Amino acid sequence: MRDEARLAIDLCGLRLRTPLVLLSGCVGFGEEYTRVEGFSNADAGAVCLKGTTLAPRLGNPAHRVYETPGGMLNAIGLQNPGARAVVDDILPKLDFTETRFIANVSGSTVEEYEEVTRIFDDSPIDAIEINISCPNVKEGGVTFGNDPDMSARVVAACRRATNKPLITKLSPNQTDIANNARRCIEAGTNGFAVINTLMGMAIDIEARRPVIGNNQGGVSGPAIKPIAVFKTFQVAQVARPLGIPIIGQGGVTCAADAIEFLLAGATAVGVGTGLFYDPMLLKSINVGLLDYLDRHGMASVGELSGALKLNGA
């Protein structure tokens, strides 16, 4: 890649060679897409590993994935071998010279989040993403991420368990995402991933049943991009003045999409569902970013972050 230094960014104290981040759940535990000829983790600034819980999980019943207009509906159910197996069996097989690797911590109690974070703290993982879009079994199934108090409690617990950078993945399924972000900053988060999937449903009209085995699932893909860009902008108003970086994500399929998130206030850009359409997507986005910098006389991609000019301002 030409002039690749122009794409390098700093994320929570970590140097990334490009602002592109492979999103949790879309690339397994970091080795799946490397089986595709021509694909390399080195094209990403960082890779977020699959959501990991304390104990192994089998996940939800089929169907787990369903294509929707402009995107995808999924309810995998956090299938994973458990945090200890990830650290002992999977991390040693990853090439940490290629890119940065970020663990994704999930749980059904605050205590589980804290314990999984502690396990990853004693590992070579570069940073930890907190998936707060999980149901709190002690509070009747209320999602951690939709309640600012519970979000802050999870972040504070994870903060106690590690000195590694913490990136909190915010849910769009809440009333005031900026207020939630503020509470998470106070609790000790170092960064944000904005946004997680929106909740949705698809129905088989002949069977008169939901298509997804779990009845509902998360909607991702181009259809959610305008929402994700706006949520990124809202969180940026709280985070950027404090130097808290954001991974903007949701529906990125080309360089123009990535640039929208950067202008809205993101430091990095997550790519996920788009890989299902084009496994080589990162290469074309990186080239497109450099072309944009050339056309606009910019020295680095960092000049794009938060450079949005509002109408009427």
Cα 206 versus chain centre, distance:
35
pLDDT score of 2 more than 70: no
Catalytic positions, written as ranges: 134
In a domain, 189, yes or no: yes
Question: What is the distance between the alpha carbons of residues 279 and 11, in angstroms, rounded to a whole number?
Answer: 24
CATH of the domain at 114: 3.20.20.70
In a domain, 38, yes or no: yes
pLDDT score of 308 more than 80: yes
pTM: 0.96
Question: What is the distance between the alpha carbons of residues 10 and 12, in angstroms, rounded to a whole number?
Answer: 6
Beta pairing class for 209-210 and 203-204:
antiparallel
pLDDT score of 200 more than 90: yes
Question: What is the distance between the alpha carbons of residues 237 and 247, in angstroms, rounded to a whole number?
Answer: 14
In a domain, 313, yes or no: no
Convert the pLDDT of each residue in 204-225 to its tens digit.
999 999 999 999 999 999 999 9
In a domain, 312, yes or no: no
What is the average pLDDT across 35-58? 90
**How many distinct structural domains can be found in the chain?**
1
pLDDT recorded at residue 1: 46
pLDDT recorded at residue 125: 98
**Residue 264: strand, helix, or coil:** helix
Other beta carbons less than 10 A from residue 47's beta carbon: 24
Task: Give me the percent of the chain exceeding a pLDDT of 70.
Answer: 97
Task: Give me the percent of the chain exceeding a pLDDT of 90.
Answer: 87
In a domain, 309, yes or no: no
Average pLDDT, the chain: 94
In a domain, 311, yes or no: no
Convert the pLDDT of each residue in 124-158 to its tens digit.
999 999 999 876 667 666 688 899 999 999 999 99
Listed in sequence order, the DSSP H helices in 140-192 are 148-161, 177-187
Convert the pLDDT of each residue in 63-119 to its tens digit.
999 999 999 999 999 999 999 999 999 999 999 999 999 999 999 999 999 999 999
**Residue the block writes with tokens 């788009």:** 274
pLDDT score of 241 more than 70: yes
Range of the domain at 115: 4-304
Question: What is the distance between the alpha carbons of residues 303 and 300, in angstroms, rounded to a whole number?
Answer: 6
